[in-house]
């Protein structure tokens, strides 16, 4: 049996319980452990998740349902081994009520045996291993990040409807690129050419030359981090935008990264589940307060962290402040009755999010700063296709009713 399958069985068999430890044994507050990447690779994303959670908690007066909240944050430094050790140390030293994670897929996988043994609920802010959405789903983990295939399936649908028939995908040599391309092709049944960029590449002459030869209707870059930004700059410098629009992963154009790209990022498009121009009081407050508090623009990761705090507050309130009643807490988390800054939000049976997705492009705000603009809403309630493989069953009163089809005369 695979490790993740073993984990799923362990989590479903064990009811969450507060981890007991020597530190704070008489502390009456709710204690949240937060494992995030705050230095090293992925630090920008991890810091945004932590800061988004911190901001929302501050706006809630530092309390969930009138109970003081204490957050203990640790840094995995982008290392799976450090992530596992930090999670074990955190659980041993603190009497935790819950754990929030904002780490890479490998770090989350390394922590999972430790998390399972703790029997704590886990709110995950980063993309989980794909199997967690299906056969290896578990009762104690809730994910607030989009599943792997969401953006790719929805982009394929958009390109199809937009009349695109020839697409070039620029993908890294390793990682989850093959799964991303498979998801894209499931909704885009036309000509797709995949070009693989070497790991760590800073120039893309070979890829740009091939794009010029193919002359596609659109280009989709799956490169993220430094490679993603370098490709955007190279594509712009080569005049690529005059030939075909450039679509990228939302990570490649995260708002904190835009100043380094300058005008090269203008009009670059992506699929995202949060944008700064979403019209809701909570989102406007997040955008304004985050910039003022941390001196940088709010991002999709910050929105996830912000939502996580609002979700926990709502769940604790629904449970009358009792964090030790595991079944009631699970039911309250499943209901997800909170004002998400990303729009309508609730969990599917596999504890993956059902939420809106938007097509965005990079533009400038009223002050001339690079930002995201919403071009279209691609889905208001996208549901990942893996739910049918998940064995979790919810009590009837917590299941969102499915409308019955009306009979045609």
Pairing label, strands 191-197, 166-172:
parallel
Q: Specify whether the CB–CB gap between 277 and 373 falls below 8 A.
A: yes
Q: Degrees (nearest 5) of the Cα angle 307, 105, 34?
A: 45
Q: Which residue has the tokens 């909170």?
A: 338
Q: Specify whether the CB–CB gap between 167 and 159 falls below 8 A.
A: yes
Give the span between the Cα atoms of 24 and 168, in whole angstroms: 55
**Fold held by 3-146+277-350+386-397:** Rossmann fold (3.40.50)
- Say which residues have a Cβ less than 8 Å from residue 402's Cβ, sequence separation at least 6: none
Give the span between the Cα atoms of 217 and 170, in whole angstroms: 14
Pairing label, strands 353-364, 346-347:
antiparallel
Q: Which residue has the tokens 């309630």?
A: 381
Local confidence band at 335 (pLDDT 50, 70, 90 cut-offs)? confident
Q: Specify whether the CB–CB gap between 224 and 180 falls below 8 A.
A: no
- Ordered by start, the domain boundaries in the chain are 3-146+277-350+386-397, 150-272
Pairing label, strands 166-172, 218-221:
parallel
Q: Specify whether the CB–CB gap between 206 and 181 falls below 8 A.
A: no
- Cα of 184 vs its chain's centroid, Å: 18
Q: Over the Cα atoms of the chain, what is R_g?
A: 21
Work out the number of other CB atoms within 10 angstroms of the CB of residue 198.
12
Domain 150-272, architecture per CATH: 3-Layer(aba) Sandwich (3.40)
Q: Provide the pLDDT for residue 19.
A: 47
List pLDDT tens digits, range 158-191: 999 999 999 999 999 877 899 999 999 999 999 9
What average pLDDT does the segment 389-405 reach?
63
C-alpha distances out from residue 5 to 116, 122, 131, 394, Å: 12, 17, 9, 20
Average pLDDT over the chain, rounded to whole? 89
In the chain, % helix, strand, coil (3-state, to 5) comes to 45, 20, 35
Tally of residues, the chain: 409
Q: What is the DSSP track for 335-399?
A: H--S--TTSS-EE-TTS-EEEEEEEEEEEE-TTS-EEEEEEEEEEEEE--TTGGG------GGGS
pLDDT reading at 214 higher than 60? yes
List pLDDT tens digits, range 9-53: 333 433 444 544 444 444 558 999 999 999 987 898 999 999 999
Work out the number of other CB atoms within 10 angstroms of the CB of residue 80.
17
Of the two residues 23 and 224, the one the predictor is more confident about is: 224
Backbone angles phi, psi at 386, to 5 degrees: -95, 0
Whether 150-272 and 3-146+277-350+386-397 are alike in CATH topology: the answer is yes
Q: Specify whether the backbone of 360 is left (phi greater than 0), alpha (psi in -120 to 50) or beta.
A: beta
Give the span between the Cα atoms of 267 and 1, in whole angstroms: 47
Q: Provide the pLDDT for residue 91.
A: 96
List pLDDT tens digits, range 122-153: 999 999 888 888 898 989 999 999 998 999 99
Whole-prediction pTM value?
0.89
């Amino acid at each position: 049996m695979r490790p993740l399958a073993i984990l799923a069985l362990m989590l479903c068999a064990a009811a969450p319980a507060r981890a007991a430890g020597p530190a704070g044994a008489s502390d009456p507050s709710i204690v949240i452990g937060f494992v995030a990447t705050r230095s090293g690779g992925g630090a920008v994303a991890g810091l945004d998740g932590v800061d988004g959670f911190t901001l929302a908690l501050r706006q809630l007066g530092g309390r969930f349902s009138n109970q003081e909240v204490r957050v203990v944050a640790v840094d995995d430094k982008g290392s799976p081994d450090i992530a596992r050790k930090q999670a074990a140390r955190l659980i041993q030293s603190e009497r935790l009520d819950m754990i929030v994670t904002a780490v890479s897929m490998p770090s989350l996988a390394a922590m999972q045996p430790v998390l399972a043994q703790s029997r704590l609920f886990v709110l995950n802010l980063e993309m989980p291993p794909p199997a967690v959405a299906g056969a290896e789903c578990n009762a104690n983990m809730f994910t607030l990040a989009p599943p792997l295939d969401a953006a790719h399936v929805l982009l394929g649908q958009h390109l199809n409807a937009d009349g695109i028939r020839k697409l070039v995908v620029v993908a890294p040599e390793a990682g989850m690129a093959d799964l991303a391309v498979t998801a894209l092709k499931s909704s885009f049944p036309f000509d797709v050419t995949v070009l693989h960029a070497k790991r760590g590449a800073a120039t893309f002459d070979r890829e740009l030359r091939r794009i010029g030869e193919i002359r596609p209707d659109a280009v989709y870059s799956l490169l993220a981090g430094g490679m993603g930004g370098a490709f955007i700059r190279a594509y712009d410098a080569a005049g690529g935008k005059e030939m075909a629009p450039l679509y990228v992963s939302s990570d490649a154009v995260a708002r904190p990264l835009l100043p380094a790209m300058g005008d090269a990022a203008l009009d670059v498009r992506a699929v995202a589940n949060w944008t700064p121009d979403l019209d809701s009081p909570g989102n406007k407050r997040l955008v304004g307060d985050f910039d003022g508090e941390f001196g940088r623009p709010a991002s999709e990761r910050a929105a996830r962290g912000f939502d996580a705090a609002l979700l926990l507050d709502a769940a604790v309130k629904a449970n009358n402040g009792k964090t030790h009643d595991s079944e009631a807490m699970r039911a309250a988390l499943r209901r997800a009755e909170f004002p998400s800054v990303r729009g309508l939000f609730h969990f599917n049976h596999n504890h993956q999010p059902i939420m809106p997705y938007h097509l965005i492009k990079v533009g400038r705000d009223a002050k001339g700063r690079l930002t995201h603009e919403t071009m279209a809403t691609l889905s208001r309630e996208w549901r990942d296709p893996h739910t049918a493989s998940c064995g979790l069953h919810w009590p009837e009163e917590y299941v969102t009713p499915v409308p019955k089809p009306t009979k045609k005369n």
